[in-house]
Amino acid sequence: MYTYDELKYFVDNCTHCPLSQTRNRAVMGKGNLKSPILFIAEGPGRNEDRDGIPFTGKSGELLDRLLREIHMSRDEVYITNIVKCHPPGNRDPKPEEQEACIPYLKYETLILRPKIIVCLGRIAAQRIIRPDYRITREHGIFMCRKGVWLTAVYHPSAILRDGTKLPEVIADFRAIREKLDTVIERD
């Protein structure tokens, strides 16, 4: 089993797919390594590629707002992506790029041992929950797999493009908080 620092070193120096040739910085997940909640998005954007930190920029500001809505902060959660390098043109990560990074995500998950995984957006939900996941119909619904609760919500960038989704996402985040409180009570 690798340590977090060893895993970060591997991610920072990865050349397993063509994204490594176009990135400025690989973006390892960030946050509380003891958090019971793990947020997973599809991949870093332009700001994240520049900063080397997940969810900076306007999407990050909105994620922070959603966390505040449920009385949480980034210091209490862990945020990562399926792919660790920015896909050019902000396109969806290709299946082979996802495959190259999945071992890193698996190790992150093993290190963290979260009780809840929240997929941020369709791509993450289809990779983590199931390939035919429909974010428009299934967001906010929980399922349990191997003792870990899984759900998905709209990606913050989708909310920025369509503000009418905001009330649904706030409701989903409140449900995440309720699930977290329930899971913590059982421990």
pLDDT tens per residue across span 38-90: 999 999 999 999 999 999 989 999 999 999 999 999 999 999 999 999 999 98
Angle of helix 4-12 versus helix 95-112 axis, rounded to 10 = 160
- Asked if the model's pLDDT at residue 129 lies above 90, the reply is yes
Instruction: Please give the Cα distance from 165 to 162 (Å, whole number).
Output: 6
What distance lies between CA 161 and its chain's CA centroid?
19
Averaged pLDDT, 163-174: 97
pLDDT tens per residue across span 106-121: 999 999 999 999 999 9
- Asked if the model's pLDDT at residue 184 lies above 90, the reply is no
Given the structure tokens 């945020």, which residue do they identify?
79
| Contact between 80 and 38 (Cβ < 8 Å) | yes
Averaged pLDDT, 138-147: 96
The chain-wide mean pLDDT, for the chain, equals 96
Three-point CA angle 141, 142, 146, nearest 5°: 155
The reported pLDDT for the residue numbered 90 is 87
Instruction: Please give the Cα distance from 187 to 185 (Å, whole number).
Output: 6
